[in-house]
Amino acid sequence: MRRPVPAEINAPFERETDAERRCHAPDCAEDGVHRAPVARDRLTEYYWFCREHVRRYNLAWDFFAGMNEQEIERQRRFDTVWQRPSWPFGRFGGRAAGRSGGGGGYRVHDSFGFFSEGPRSADETGAARPRTAEQKALALLDLEEPVSFADVKARYKTLVKQLHPDANGGDTEAEERLKIVNQAYGALKISFA
C-alpha cells in the first residue's frame, strides 16, 4: 500500500511565471522543474517540485486510491482503448444492427470485386465465371474475350492513371488495387507473348 500524499502538499498554488516557479514542498527553496498531477480527476493541473520532492510524491502517488474493484476494472478497460469509445467490429457502431444483410446494410461500390466474398455468380453478372488465369486477369481489368493485347495495354494505362498513389493522395486502398492490376497485366503480358 502506498503512503498518502502529505497534507502540506495537497493545495497547489500558482506562480506568475515559470522563472519564479519554486518547489511546492514546504520549506524548499529549489526550483520546481518537475510537474506532478494534482489528482486523478485533475490531471491537467500540476504541482511543481524539485527532483527530490517529485520522487517522494511519485512514491506516494496511487491513481486507484479510493476506487473499488469495479471502478478500477472500468478504468482499465477505458484505458485499453485509449479512452475512445468502441463498437463491435463490422457493425458501424451498432447503428445498423437491425438492418438485413452483412456489414450493417451499407453498400460500397466495388468495381473490381476486391471486397467481395468470392467470384460473383453467372446469374448476378450475366456472364460466365472466369476459369483460366488469363480469364481471371481479364476480369480484373474489366475486359472480356476476345481482346487484343493493344486493348489490354490501353485498359491497363487507364487504370494506372486512376489508381496511382500520386493521383490519389497516397490512398492505400488505391495502391493495393494498383498492385492487383499490375499482377493481372503481368500475367496477360506473358500470355500474349
Q: What percent of the chain has pLDDT over 90?
A: 13
Mean pLDDT estimate for the chain: 75
Q: What's the confidence (pLDDT) of residue 92? A: 52
Q: What's the confidence (pLDDT) of residue 86? A: 67
- For the ranges 44-53, 72-81, 89-98, the maximum mean pLDDT occurs at 44-53
Average pLDDT score over residue span 156-184: 84
Helices H / strands E in the chain, number of each: 6, 2
Contact 4/60 with Cβ under 8 angstroms? yes
Half-sphere exposure of 52 (CA within 13 A, CB side): 8
Q: Which residues contact 132 (CB under 8 A, 6 or more apart)?
A: none
pTM above 0.75, yes or no: no
Buried b (16+ CB within 10 A) or exposed e, 8-30: ebeeeeeeeeeeeeebbbeeeee
Give the cell for residue 84.
Answer: 475512445
The Cα–Cα gap between 115 and 109 comes to 10
Which domains occur in the chain, in start order? 7-80 (no CATH), 122-192 (1.10.287.110)
